[in-house]
């Protein structure tokens, strides 16, 4: 027993020694991320490219699971003083990260302190707007931003006698197309969707220019209240329930909707709404011709379509490391925002190009002409100048509020509640969490 | 009985001998439990930068939260069903093995296997079989005309988690029942048989009463298992859904604390769970151990 412990101790010491010798050679920077599968491999390639481009710093990417797992892991690590230099946090965690002054190192500050020239104007306003404070300072680095788009099965559209080059524009179109797809036997169900919360509720609201909450969807202050139970949202949830009963819509499950992608890949459902960042996976997994389109809107709603809002994640820098490491982080971020790296990542993954230069580069390369549909996301998010209702959202405790949205949506589908009751309950339970967050952060 | 008192000359030695166990209890139980109790009266931001003492506000909130109270009901249904199903199935299997002679050891080995499966893996296994889109069992069930969908129907979801949780626990119960059955004297059963009692009669009047200590013991163990050890299964199959229909207390602690980062509330829920465990343990030692004939 003692012997075993001694050996373990010695191995530990040896490991420590080797790691210190490694840091002597290059400053070690840890980067926790939540990119799995195809995206994870690509991310590691990019980091590898950075490590090979210079020898002063060495970035180690560590896959930490899902978005909530990566974020919560980093927070737990921070409490134990073991935090990474960089952590990838999804957009829903933005409210929590922003409120954590003293734990995060704002990117604009980091760039200033390390003497790097950093022009926030090089980034697309629709992307950066989400991650800046009220004074317009950029707080985190928008690495992978996405927005929901519509994917559809062109082969099945053809079979049903629909024009394979015309995606449904409005919800009315979508329902009519679905009925044709189903009655002709081309598909078993009309459509499915990932992220009921993000796509069918939050983006739905922005796309129709109606608010999600007061205080400009939470941008204005911690005293914001939810307004998800407006007449339009109720109408949409009510329709989803009706469509679900009629078999037009198939529910893919809570959170990201794990069961939605297989329904689309297998041809069961002909239309599918999900993040533009799912593009790589969609192209890889579907054995049919895929079409791309804007999210549908209700034709009778004035001001629709407005513009969609951002999802995906940004990179946050955490406090408590050496200035030398922060220099490396700044250098790494500069590398990540170079047009070549950005364009590569964007074209591979379907995430938005975050800089104007990366978008321009893609155009010069003729990428968008060669890959129709690859610019749907960017067109959608920049369709109109954002209004108070379509800038995004910023609420504390929002991960939990999303869980509530999922629960209430399930209550709606199982017939336990009407759309109005379900959304009223979301607002009531959500506001309670918002008040708790407000009192914990004042 | 004659008691011999051995007197140790050392006064310190007994304490020294106790020390390792005490240290483990303090480090792995008392300290974390104390920390939990302390955070349950605090309101804290996720990073631990700011915290304020709020007395029992976290508990009051829980008492007023219909979802938390609902979770108690869900947990009760889940624990009771899991215990009944896993004990029932295990008993039938044990009786079957008790009657076979040649292949008993092979059966036993096979039945014990699921116990070695990690909860999360067991969860994924059942999730696959019952998946509304790709599950093979779903496909078969739908063939009979029933629309199985545990993402929508709370009863389906509850059945699924109960099945997954019981399946793993059957092995454990089975072993105890096999041992229990072996300790029932053959002569009693033979005497009853000679008196003309059929197999069913023999079971209800002789075997079952003599097995009661084992059954009671297993009941407590299974309830504790269902309430506290099924996190992995719930997380991998239903994640507490749909609409909180399988959100048992221990899963809610995780959701609120580790996903929602609402540490105060999560800690308060843990303290309540701790009280429940203590109560169950007291019940077991005080009443069951005394009243049941071993």
Q: Do B133 and A266 touch (CB under 8 A)?
A: yes
Q: Considering only CB atoms, which chain A residues are within 8 Å of B133? A: 259, 262-263, 266, 268
pLDDT tens digits, residue range B73-115? 999 999 999 999 999 999 998 888 877 767 778 888 888 888 8
| pLDDT tens per residue, range B196-228 | 888 888 888 888 888 888 888 898 889 988 988
Same structural domain, A191 and A269: yes
For residue A14, is it within any domain?
Answer: no
Q: Mutual orientation of helices A339-349 and A356-364 as an angle, nearest 10°?
A: 70
Which positions 251-310 of A are in contact with B (Cβ < 8 Å)? 251, 253-255, 259, 262-263, 266, 268
CA distance B68 to B90: 32
The chain B residues in contact with chain A (CB within 8 A) are 43-50, 52, 67, 131-134, 151-154, 239, 241-245, 255-256, 258-262
- Whole-number Å distance between alpha carbons of A311 and A143: 11
Q: For chain A, report the end-to-end CA distance as a whole number of angstroms.
A: 51
For residues B193-210, one letter each, b for 16 or more C-beta atoms within 10 angstroms of the residue's C-beta and e for the rest, the string is eeeebeeeebbeebbeeb
Is A323 part of the contact surface with chain B (CB cutoff 8 Å)?
Answer: no
- The answer on A398 and A324 residing in a single domain is no
**Min distance B277 CA to chain A CA atoms (Å):** 26
Q: Does residue A184 belong to any structural domain of this protein?
A: yes
CB-CB: which of B67, B153, B259 is closest to A414? B153
Whether residue A205 sits in one domain with residue A135: no
Kind of pairing, strands A311-318 and A86-90?
antiparallel
Same-domain status, A78 and A185: no
Q: Shortest CB distance from B260 goes to which of A99, A268, A400?
A: A400
Mutate to test the interface with B, among A87, A241, A267, A414 (most CBs of B within 10 A): A414
Whether residues B262 and A255 touch (CB distance < 8 A) is answered with: no
Whether B90 contacts B170, CB under 8 Å: yes
A415 shares a domain with A359: no
Question: Is residue A88 domain-shared with residue A126, that is, in the same domain?
Answer: yes
Residue of B nearest to A400 (CA): B260
Which residues, listed in sequence order, are joined to residue A152 by a DSSP beta bridge? A271, A291
Which of A103, A255, A266 is facing B47, going by the closest CB pair?
A103
Q: Give Cβ neighbours of residue A30 (< 8 Å, ≥ 6 apart).
A: A59, A60, A62, A84, A85, A86
Cis peptide before B242 (omega within 30 of 0): yes
Task: Determine phi and psi for A89, rounding to 5 degrees.
Answer: -120, 130
Across the interface, of A102, A400, A416, the residue whose CB is closest to B262 is: A400
Q: Are residues A34 and A157 in the same domain?
A: no
Question: How sure is the predictor about B1, in pLDDT bands with cuts at 50, 70 and 90?
Answer: very low
Answer yes or no: is A269 within a domain. Answer: yes
End position of a domain, from candidates A349, A364, A379: A364
Domain boundaries, chain B: 57-291
Query: Which of B44, B258, B259 is closest, CB to CB, to A440?
Result: B44
Give the residue among B71, B59, B47, B40 at the shortest CA–CA distance from A437: B47
Inter-chain touch A407–B241, beta carbons under 8 Å: yes
Is A371 a domain residue?
Answer: no
C-beta of residue A60 within 8 angstroms of C-beta of residue A325: no
Residue A228 CA to its chain's centroid (Å) = 20
Q: How far apart are CA B119 and CA A174, in angstroms?
A: 42
Whether A125 and A157 map to the same domain: the answer is no
> To probe the interface with A, which of B41, B45, B130 has the most A CB atoms within 10 Å?
B45
Nearest to A89 by CA among A108, A103, A75: A75
The answer to whether the Cβ–Cβ distance between A253 and B261 falls below 8 Å is no
The band of B291, judged by pLDDT with boundaries at 50, 70 and 90, is low
Tokens (6 digits) for B269: 């829920």
Residues in chain B within 8 Å Cβ distance of A272: none
What does the alpha-carbon distance between residue B220 and residue B192 come to, in Å, rounded to a whole number? 31
| Residues A273 and A415 both lie in one domain | yes
Chain B residue with minimum CA distance to A241: B152
Which CATH number belongs to the domain containing residue A82 in this structure?
Answer: 3.40.190.10
Nearest CA in chain A to B265: A436
In a domain, A263, yes or no: yes
Cis geometry, peptide bond prior to residue A305 (ω within 30 degrees of 0): yes
Considering the domain architecture, whether residues A275 and A351 belong to the same structural domain is answered as no
Strand runs (DSSP E) across A37-180, as ranges?
57-63, 86-90, 104-105, 141-146, 148-153
Q: Long-range CB contacts (< 8 A, 24+ apart) of B129-135?
A: B130/B160, B130/B237, B131/A259, B132/A259, B133/A259, B133/A262, B133/A263, B133/A266, B133/A268, B134/A262, B134/A266
A61 and A140 inside one domain: yes
User: Would you tell me which CATH number, out of the four given (3.20.20.150, 3.40.50.2000, 3.30.1280.10, 1.10.3720.10), belongs to the domain B57-291?
Assistant: 1.10.3720.10
**B228 CA: distance to closest CA in chain A (Å):** 21
Q: A358 near A81, Cβ under 8 Å?
A: no
Is 60 exceeded by the pLDDT of residue B191?
Answer: yes
Cβ-defined contact of B259 to A72 (cutoff 8 Å) = yes
In terms of domains, do A119 and A202 share one? no
In chain A, the number of structural domains is 2
| pLDDT number for residue B99 | 76
Q: Which has the closest alpha carbon to A269: A199, A200, A192?
A: A192
Q: Residue A256 sits in which domain range?
A: 148-308+388-440
pLDDT mean values, one per 10 residues, chain A (442 residues): 45 45 71 89 93 92 90 90 93 86 91 85 81 83 92 96 94 96 95 95 96 91 93 97 95 87 94 92 92 95 91 92 92 91 89 88 89 87 89 87 92 92 95 88 76
Distance from CA of A204 to the nearest CA of B (A): 22
pLDDT in tens, B235-276: 888 888 788 888 999 999 988 888 778 888 899 999 999 998
CB contact under 8 A, B47 and A102: yes
Terminal alpha carbon distance of chain B: 21
């Amino acid at each position: 027993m003692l012997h075993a412990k001694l050996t373990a101790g010695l191995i530990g010491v040896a490991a420590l020694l080797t790691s210190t010798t490694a840091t002597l050679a290059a400053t070690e920077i840890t980067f926790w991320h939540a990119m799995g599968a195809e995206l994870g491999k690509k991310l590691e390639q990019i980091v590898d490219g950075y490590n090979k481009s210079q020898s002063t710093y060495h970035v180690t990417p560590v896959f930490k699971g899902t978005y909530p797992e990566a974020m919560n892991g980093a927070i737990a690590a921070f409490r134990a003083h073991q935090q990474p230099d960089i952590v990838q946090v999804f957009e829903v965690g933005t409210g929590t990260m922003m409120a954590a002054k003293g734990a995060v190192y704002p990117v604009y500050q980091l760039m200033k302190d390390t003497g790097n020239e950093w022009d926030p104007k090089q980034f697309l306003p629709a992307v950066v707007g989400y991650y800046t404070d009220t004074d317009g300072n950029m707080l985190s680095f928008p690495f992978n931003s996405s927005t929901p788009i519509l994917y559809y099965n062109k082969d099945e559209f053809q079979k049903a006698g629909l024009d394979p080059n015309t995606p449904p524009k409005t919800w009315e179109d979508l329902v009519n197309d679905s009925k044709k797809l189903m009655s002709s036997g081309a598909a078993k169900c009309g459509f499915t969707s990932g992220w009921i919360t993000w796509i069918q509720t939050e983006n739905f609201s922005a796309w129709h220019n109606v608010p999600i909450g007061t205080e400009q969807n939470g941008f204005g202050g911690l005293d914001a209240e939810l307004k998800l139970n407006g007449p339009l949202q109720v109408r949409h949830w009510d329709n989803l329930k009706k469509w679900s009963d009629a078999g037009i819509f198939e529910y893919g499950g809570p959170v990201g909707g794990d069961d939605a992608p297989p329904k689309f890949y297998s041809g069961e459902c002909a239309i599918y709404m999900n993040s533009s960042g799912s593009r790589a996976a969609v192209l890889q997994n579907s054995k049919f011709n895929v079409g791309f389109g804007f999210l549908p809107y209700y034709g009778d709603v004035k001001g629709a379509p407005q513009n969609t809002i951002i999802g995906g994640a940004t990179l946050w820098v955490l406090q408590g490391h050496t200035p030398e490491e922060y220099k490396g982080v700044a250098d790494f971020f500069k590398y990540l925002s170079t047009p070549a790296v950005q364009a590569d990542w964007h074209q591979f993954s379907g995430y938005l190009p975050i800089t104007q230069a990366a978008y321009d580069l893609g155009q010069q390369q003729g990428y968008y002409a060669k890959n129709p549909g690859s610019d749907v996301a960017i067109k959608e998010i920049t369709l109109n100048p954002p209004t108070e209702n379509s800038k995004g959202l910023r609420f504390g405790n929002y991960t939990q509020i999303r869980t509530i949205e999922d629960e209430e949506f399930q209550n709606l589908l199982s017939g336990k509640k009407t759309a109005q009751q379900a959304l009223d309950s979301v607002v009531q339970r959500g506001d309670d969490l918002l008040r708790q967050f407000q009192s914990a952060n004042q | 009985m004659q008691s011999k008192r051995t007197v140790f000359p050392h006064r310190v030695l007994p304490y020294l001998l106790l020390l390792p166990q005490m240290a483990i209890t303090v480090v792995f139980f008392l300290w974390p439990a104390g920390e939990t109790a302390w955070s349950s009266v605090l309101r804290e931001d996720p990073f631990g930068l700011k915290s304020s003492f709020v007395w029992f506000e976290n508990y009051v909130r829980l008492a007023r939260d219909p979802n938390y109270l609902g979770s108690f009901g869900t947990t009760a249904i889940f624990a009771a069903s899991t215990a009944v199903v896993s004990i029932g199935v295990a008993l039938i299997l044990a009786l079957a093995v008790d009657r076979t002679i040649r292949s008993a050891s092979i059966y036993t080995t096979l039945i014990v296997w699921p116990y070695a499966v990690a909860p999360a893996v067991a969860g994924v296994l059942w999730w696959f079989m019952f998946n509304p889109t790709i599950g093979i069992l779903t496909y078969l069930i739908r063939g009979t005309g029933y629309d199985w969908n545990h993402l929508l129907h709370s009863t389906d979801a509850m059945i699924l988690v109960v099945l997954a949780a019981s399946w793993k626990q059957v092995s454990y119960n089975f072993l105890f029942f096999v041992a229990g059955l072996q300790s029932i004297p053959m002569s009693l059963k033979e005497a009853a048989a000679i008196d003309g009692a059929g197999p069913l009669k023999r079971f209800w009047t002789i075997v079952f009463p003599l097995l009661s200590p084992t059954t009671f013991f297993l009941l407590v163990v299974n309830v504790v298992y269902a309430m506290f050890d099924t996190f992995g299964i719930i997380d991998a199959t239903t994640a507490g859904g749909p609409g909180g229909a399988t959100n048992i207390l221990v899963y809610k602690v995780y959701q609120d604390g580790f996903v929602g980062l609402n540490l105060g509330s999560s800690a308060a829920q843990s303290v309540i769970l701790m009280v429940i465990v203590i109560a169950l343990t007291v019940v077991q030692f005080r009443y069951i151990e005394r009243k049941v004939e071993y």
